[in-house]
Amino acid sequence: MLHEFISAHHGTMVVQYFYHAATQQRKNGQERLPDETEFRYPGPKPRSKEAAILMLADASESSVRSMPDPTPTRIENQVHKMVTARLADGQLEDCDLTLHQVHLIEESLVKSLYGFYHARIAYPKPIEADGDKPVEGGQG
């Protein structure tokens, strides 16, 4: 199963970063636009529910991690974008996930990622007993 996870967690998705860069280069040079198939992962698409969940989790986590200000709304929108893109590209068509299950996975990813990336308040450093200066290594 581990081998399937490794080979299928990107499915046959387009490597957007490199495809976009090639598209920009070609537009500037007036050459033909690149063929999208040249920029796809070799696959296979996930065949098990577990591999599909890994695909969705990996894409969602990496995209949220790169966000400058991951608010709850932004996290929810980004996860939805990642899930929708994989559905639209047919990446989940070889596994047995229902749309209801995909929706539940999406909700779970949003909750987990928000819990992981939410901002914490900065706690003030405790004051020494004599009231002079903050104690190093205080609660935080």
Q: Where are the domains of the chain?
A: 2-117
Q: How far apart are CA 60 and CA 76, in angstroms?
A: 10
Dump pLDDT digits (tens) for 27-83: 666 677 888 999 999 999 999 999 999 999 999 999 999 999 999 999 999 999 999
- The pLDDT tens digits of the residues spanning 82-119 come to 999 999 999 999 999 999 999 999 999 999 999 988 76
Amino acid occupying residue 79: V
* CB-based contact 20:32 (threshold 8 Å): no
- pLDDT for the residue numbered 56: 98
What does DSSP assign to residue 11?
T
